[in-house]
Homo-oligomer: A and B are copies of this chain.
Amino acid sequence: MKTRKDYILSLDADRWLFHADMLVDKAHVVMLKERGIIKKQDVVKILNCLNKMDSDYFVDHALPSYEDVHTAIESVLIKGIGEEVGGKMHTGRSRNDKVATSIRLALRDELLGIIRNVNELRSVLLKKANENIDTVMPGYTHLQHAQPTILAHHFLAYTDAFARDFLRIMHAYELVNVSPLGAAAFASTGFQIDRERTAKLLGFDSVLENSMDAVSSRDFAIDVISCYANLMTNLSRLAEEIILWSSSEFNFVRVSVEYVTGSSIMPQKRNPDYAELIRARTGTVYGCLMSVLSICKALPYSYNRDLQEVTPHLLTATNISASSVSVMKSIVEKLELNKEEMAKQAQVGFTTATELADTIVRETGVSFRTAHKLVADLVNEGVALKANRGVSEVLNELDAFSTRAIGKKLSARGLTEKKVTDALNIASSIEKRNIKGGPAKRELRRMIRARKTNLEKDDKLVGSKGEKVRKSLDDLAKEVKRKARIINVMKR
Contacts and interface: CB of A to CB of B under 8 A. Distances in A.
Overall SS of chain A's interface: helix
A266 interface: yes
Interface residues of A, number: 188
A433 B190 CA distance: 5
A354 interface: yes
A157 B217 CA distance: 9
Contact of A372 (B183, B265, B437): B265
A276 B305 contact: yes
Question: How many identical chains are in the complex?
Answer: 4
A39 B183 CA distance: 67
A126 to B, nearest CB: 12
Contacts of A74: 369
Interface string A308-322: 110011000001001
A204 interface: no
Contacts of A259: 4
Interface stretch (A19-27, A51-59, A136-144): A136-144
Given A185-B146, A439-B211, A295 B283 contact: yes
A144 B186 contact: no
A452 interface: no
Interface stretch (A81-89, A102-110, A464-472, A478-486): A81-89
Contact of A305 (B229, B280, B293): B280
Nearest to A219: B230
Given A146-B266, A185-B266, A191-B358, 8 more contacts: A84-B370, A86-B367, A157-B212, A160-B208, A226-B230, A277-B305, A287-B288, A287-B290
17 contacts: A1-B327, A84-B367, A85-B367, A87-B368, A140-B302, A144-B271, A164-B175, A190-B432, A209-B447, A237-B299, A262-B376, A276-B304, A277-B306, A280-B305, A280-B306, A283-B292, A290-B291
